[in-house]
Every structure is written in C-alpha cells, then in structure tokens.
Amino acid sequence: MVVFTACSPSDEEETSDEDKVHITVSFSILADIVENVAGDKAEVDHIVPNGGDPHEYEPVPSDLRSVSESDVFFVNGLNLEQWISSLVENVSDTPIVELTEEVEPIEVSEGVHDPHAWLDPDNVKLYVDKAVEHLSEIDPVNANIYEENAAKYKERLDTLDETIRDKTESVPKDQRSIVLSENAFVYFGDAYGYETTGIWELNSHSEGTPRQVADLVDRLQTTSAPYVFLESTANPVHMESVSHDSGVPIYDQGLYTDGLPIDSSVDTYYEMMEVNARAITNALSE
Ligand SMILES: [Zn+2]
C-alpha cells in the first residue's frame, strides 16, 4: 500500500529562508543577542568577525552588500563602530538602529561615553527591547513570537546577573580591581562594585604607548590587585610589559570583552559572561 502525504505550504511551520527577515549586526556579541530574539524567523549576519576588534575595522565590499540587502542594521552605538560611516554613506534605505538607545551611558572623559554597555546584563535587556521593537515593525505577523523569545531571554539574563553577583560578591572588597589593556569593564564595575582601570581607556590608534604603560605600572603600586588580565581580542605585549615592570602577574584565563572568540570554546554572550565572572572571582580572591 502506498500512502501519499499531502503537505500544502500553509501546513509548514518552519519559515523558509525566503520569508525570513534579514538582519545584519556589527559584531558577534550583538549577533548572539539578536538571534535569541529572532529565533528561526530571521537570518542574522555580523560584520566584524569573531575575535576581531569592533572599534577598529575596515569594511570590505561584501559588508556593504550584506547591509544593503538587510531589512535592518543593528549596531551598538555610543561611538563603538567608528567605521560604519564609510559603510552607511553608501547604503540608502536600510534602517540603522543603535541598540544602546535606551541605555544610560557612562561618561569616561568629557563628552566621551564608554560603549561597552553589554558587559552589564541589565543593559542587554534594553538591547533586547530595542531589537523587539524594530523586528515587530519589520515583521508584524511574528511580533508575538519576538515578544515571547525576548521575555524568555530576559529571564535568562536575570539569572546571569544573579550568577555573576553571587560569584563576584565573594571577592574581598579591597581586591575588587579589574585591570585590563582596554578599560572595558566600566559598566560591569558599576553593576557589581568593582574598580576598573586599563593601560588605555578605549581602543584607538594610540594603544600601549610607553607613557600609558608606565602610568599603569605607577597606579598598580598603590593597589592590592593580585592579578592583571588580558582580553581575548588584545595584543598581549603591552600587558606583558606592565606585568614585568610592576611584578603583578597576568591571570591565565583571559577576559572576553569585545567579541566572541574565533574557536567555538565560548559561543554565546551568556557563556562569555560566566567565564568572565569566574575568572575575575578566582583571580581576585587569591
Ligand atoms: Zn572595546
């Protein structure tokens, strides 16, 4: 006996690729956050490759194509992606949305805001809301799905926040000092009660000058930080000089700040924050 199974397109639950919303985001961490909201209703591409620096990037022609063919281009904003101006000048009708629009920015020097707002999971909930708002406009049919996905993900972000708080609270108060190449943990420090400092303030063309290295070595004389850290996306040579000159060792687990790594050892924002919290707690409790 032969059984014929009929299947009309309306029976199919999966959204075909053609129907999907096309989203481009600037870098890997945003891709993971937005994928949690979009679920299987959208394709998400990111421009800066894993392990790359989202502050400084040279767009290539395929990036322009990717943004042009997308329904929306989500960026962090707060002047993180200084390279997008050259890209977006050539893209006429793809809306560009800054996911930090509702975040309360922290000023690090006059008129300059720290862009690393994602290093506080509470801020990421605001990124999620912004993504839902725009995806629901682009694709109103699936608006309730985006809402549901977002609600679930925000619950997980609350769990992440509690996990980080539980861990980091165990570090003695006078050892709560996160020292990195780039001072990227300002929002994290603000959320969990840590001092933060770097060889330089924000990634730019002047990173790791002899003056910056010497200044940090001086500052380390007055702190009791048991370790300094290296971020996964930074050139290690500058922090190696700091460590050599100050005698403060580099902790062997690096911190993730500006992107997910090239290997898939850590492939979500959630996981990278867990790794960061564990490394900070273990290193600074010693
Ligand atoms: Zn950075």
CATH of the domain at 160: 3.40.50.1980
Task: Please give the tally of structural domains in the chain.
Answer: 2
> Three-state SS for 166?
helix
Half-sphere exposure in the Cβ direction for 42 (13 Å, CA):
35
C-alpha of 104 from chain center: 16
101: CA distance to ligand 1 center in Å?
Answer: 18
The yes-or-no verdict on residue 40 having pLDDT over 50 is: yes
Query: Which residues have C-beta within 8 Å of that of residue 231, sequence separation ≥ 6?
Result: 180, 181, 182, 184, 254, 255, 256, 257, 258
143: CA distance to ligand 1 center in Å?
Answer: 32
Report the 10 Å Cβ neighbour count for 265: 11
Query: Which residues have C-beta within 8 Å of that of residue 175, sequence separation ≥ 6?
Result: 224, 225, 226, 284, 285
156: CA distance to ligand 1 center in Å?
Answer: 24
What is the extent of the structural domain holding 156? 2-164
- For residue 254, the model assigns a pLDDT of 94
The domain boundary, picked from 164, 186, 204, lies at 164
What mean pLDDT do residues 187-197 have?
97
Tokens for 160, please give them.
């992440």
Q: How sure is the predictor about 224, in pLDDT bands with cuts at 50, 70 and 90?
A: confident
55: CA distance to ligand 1 center in Å?
Answer: 6
Same domain, 258 and 149: no
Report the 10 Å Cβ neighbour count for 54: 26
> What residue has token string 């006078």?
174
- What pTM did the predictor assign? 0.92
The yes-or-no verdict on residue 3 having pLDDT over 60 is: no
250: CA distance to ligand 1 center in Å?
Answer: 19
The yes-or-no verdict on residue 183 having pLDDT over 70 is: yes
Q: How sure is the predictor about 29, in pLDDT bands with cuts at 50, 70 and 90?
A: very high
Rounded to 5°, angle at Cα 35 from 264 and 112: 85
- For residue 207, the model assigns a pLDDT of 81
Same domain, 48 and 156: yes
Same domain, 79 and 127: yes
The domain boundary, picked from 125, 149, 164, lies at 164
Same domain, 157 and 279: no
Same domain, 226 and 280: yes
